[in-house]
Amino acid sequence: MVQRICVILVFLQAIFMKTFITVIAFFLYLNLFSQSQTDFGFADKSIPELSQFEYYRGVWHTKMEMKQEDGTFKKLDAVATVKGVFLKDHKTFQSQFTTTKGFFSTDVRTFNTTRKEWKALFLNANSQRWHEFTSKIVDGKMTTIVIGGYSGKEKFDVKAIDNVISDNNYQRNIYHSYDKMKTWTLVYKMYAKKVD
């Protein structure tokens, strides 16, 4: 009888430990998930299209390649940091682009439910550039159009297409058009890796 009670107690203790460890692991996971949601915000679920920028949340290190005259691409020395976050209203998304050489730009955007596209306002105070542009999903990829370049005064328009490779990597191809968006030339490739 004592032996049965001991076996039952050992069995109950094992079940308790497994349950206890599972509960602790669950709460640790919830804490990590909520911390991530808090640090970089989240999209309001009442407008499903807002989730289109979920992939862009976090801190990213980017490297770029620029097209040369011979058609090849050359890696640039500059490494930029990009931070993407949903603001507290969960409907506004902000990105900040910085470099170690002091460059800074930011944009804020939200989804226009009438036009079914993202409307963004761009700002680079140091260069005294502010402009607006639009983004939308085209062929499954976030596609941004910036008429007149980021200053709004360039002789070319810009198209940027994000190709999400994984949760931690995406590639942005940046094109220029000198003929009012009839033809596009790939001029930059940006490779982003999530670091936070």
Q: Please give the mean pLDDT across all residues of the chain.
A: 85
- 163: three-class secondary structure by DSSP: strand
Look at residue 30 and tell me whether its pLDDT is greater than 60: no
- In the chain, % of residues over pLDDT 70: 81
Position 11 scores a pLDDT of 52
Instruction: Please tell me the distance from the alpha carbon of residue 92 to that of residue 109, in angstroms, as a whole number.
Output: 6
The fold adopted by the segment(s) 48-194 is: Lipocalin (2.40.128)
- 90: three-class secondary structure by DSSP: coil
Long-range own/partner contacts, residues 110-114 (CB < 8 A, 24 or more apart): 110/50, 111/47, 111/49, 111/50, 111/52, 113/47, 113/49
Position 101 scores a pLDDT of 86
Task: Write down the domain spans for the chain.
Answer: 1-39, 48-194
Contact between residue 64 and residue 82 where contact means Cβ atoms under 8 Å apart: no
Q: What is the mean pLDDT of residues 59-81?
A: 95
Position 85 scores a pLDDT of 97
Instruction: Please tell me the distance from the alpha carbon of residue 3 to that of residue 13, in angstroms, as a whole number.
Output: 15
Look at residue 76 and tell me whether its pLDDT is greater than 50: yes
Contacting residues for 181 by C-beta, under 8 A, at least 6 apart = 145, 157, 159
- 147: three-class secondary structure by DSSP: coil
- 56: three-class secondary structure by DSSP: helix
Look at residue 18 and tell me whether its pLDDT is greater than 70: no
